[in-house]
Amino acid sequence: MNLQERVLLKKANRDELYCLEPPFPTTNFLIETSNACNHACIFCAHQKMKRKIGKINTEFVFDILKQAYDLGTREVGFYATGEPFLVPELPDYIRKAKEIGYTYVYLTSNGALATPERIRAVIDAGLDSIKFSINAPERKMYAFIHGKDDFDTVLEHLKYLNQYRKESGRNYKIFVTGILTRYTENMKDMYFDVFKGLADEIVFKNVYNQGGYMPEIDTLLRCTYDNEEYRRCNLPFDAISVTCEGYLSVENADFENMLVVADLNKVSLKDGWYGEKMKKIRQAFIDDKLEGTLCDGCVHHRFSEAKPLTPELATDNPDIFSDRLVRERLKKAGYID
């Protein structure tokens, strides 16, 4: 499966997955090493998040990696709602995954903290690919989208990734992804000019209601040509998402743990994956009856009141569906009145 196919997995038409007890995933295993982030992207719910900032326990990571591997998983990514390079133990996790036997270990980063020293550490630990999320191809728009003026820094770090690949002789892949909004949808050609020779592949994704937490995307940020009414999602059937607290979630972008189905500190990964709460949300997807869940707004492109699947593990945030922060940034930039 190539990168483009990975990016489209959420929307892929794979009806064979849609059952209450699907095969345990061999790919699509994401571990949230931390929910801290150094950027504030306009389309990201992290800017509204009230969940306590933390990082994952090292012993837990080693254990969950082994559990997943024993169940057949062979690929793992170390990222979710936060920036992986904020976590000093990141190289240790990569090295452990490779020691266990994972054939493909990867991560996505905004790249601002991917200094040469940190790049060498993760690559030397065995990283197979790294993707920089660069959501505008020029400095001014980048600062508007990311909330930080780090474009030049990220570009230098991307250049070093390529330099170190030549110096080290290591065969890791380098990708750039751009999440397109109505303010950047016409900048695709610029990506290929700016990043020519610096990425093995440039992949674009249209912005969407991130995990159900960002209904304002449909009204304020969505690409003008995007008329999708139903968003296909295979995550409950073919993806393992582990939060930094050690919870199993339906969605890797679960900023307030509203889609948590199991506490993996108390139950095994296998029991969580095949547990009753996961089966219940799978049945809701099969029947397309997602009302009352966070997934409803994401799948059906609408504002949808939602309740957490496991209330005692979720963070109460009365402002999570507010569009205030996005609207304020758009006003400040002069895009709306």
Could you give the number of structural domains in the chain?
1
Q: Which domain holds residue 55?
A: 3-333
Please report the pLDDT score of residue 15 as a whole number.
67
318 has pLDDT over 80: yes
302 or 57, which is more confident: 57
Sheet with strand 75-77: strands edge to edge: 201-206, 173-180, 129-133, 104-109, 75-77, 29-31, 240-242, 247-249, 260-263
The CATH number linked to 86 is: 3.20.20.70
Q: Give the mean model confidence (pLDDT) for residues 205-224.
A: 96
Pick the closest to residue 181 from 211, 153, 216 (CA basis).
Answer: 216
- What's the CA angle centered on 12, arms 11 and 16, to 5 degrees? 125
In the 8-state DSSP scheme, what is residue 34? Answer: B
Tens of pLDDT, residue by residue over 147-167, are 999 999 999 999 999 999 999
Buried b (16+ CB within 10 A) or exposed e, 286-302: eeeebeebbbbbbbbbe
Tens of pLDDT, residue by residue over 107-136, are 999 999 999 999 999 999 999 999 999 999
pTM of the model: 0.93
Please report the pLDDT score of residue 13 as a whole number.
59
Tens of pLDDT, residue by residue over 156-197, are 999 999 999 999 999 999 999 999 999 999 999 999 999 999
261 has pLDDT over 60: yes
